[in-house]
Amino acid sequence: MTKIIGLTGGIGSGKTTVANEFSSLGIPVYITDLEAKKMMQSDFVLNRIKEEFGNIVFDKDVLLREKLSEIVFNDSEKLAKLNGIVHPAVKQHFKKWLLDHQNNPFVIYESAILFESGSYKECDYVVNVVAPLELRIQRVIERDKTTREKVLERIKNQWNDEEKSSKSDFIVENTSMEAIKLEIVKILNFLRIKQTKS
């Protein structure tokens, strides 16, 4: 039975770096954010978004992602509504993806809102990626060409590191690439030992 390893971490913590490292070691990785973006091009999801948010987030039939992001990241209720539309679609897609990877001993399910969405309950283990707050803020400002205020707003909408870590099986401190590699080797060794015993 394929084990699902949930991978999460706050914005700017470096989840993608950790996910890429797992992938480079031959572990299949499912990135929910990428899949959610694809889902948001499907007619079903677009129609639901239009019903919920109206034409203000559309230019003719094209979804204005920036406009939608602006709305939801400043309103936790609206963010929950958007997640309620996109998340079930991603969940269904992941189930199909899992069938294609059922010969793998474990797969990585990467999600920024693993805890907030309740998806962690479907994972066998959870890895939380952490990094110093200032470093996270700096990374997001550079990556998204945004402001400190906007980054802090997004951080406020997510569970904090302590909450996530208390519910996680492994913590990866993203302070250097070397530290990440060492932690991942430890995690994989643990999982492989567990598997041979089961």
Q: Which residues are annotated as a binding site?
A: 12-17
d(CA 16, CA 64): 24
Taking alpha carbons only, the member of 68, 40, 86, 73 closest to residue 158 is 73
Residue 107 in tokens: 């797969």
* Binding site per annotation, positions for ATP: 12-17
Residue where the block lists tokens 């990467």? 110
Taking alpha carbons only, the member of 126, 129, 149, 128 closest to residue 137 is 149
Q: Which residues pair with 30 in a beta bridge?
A: 109
d(CA 181, CA 21): 7
> What letter would DSSP give residue 57?
G
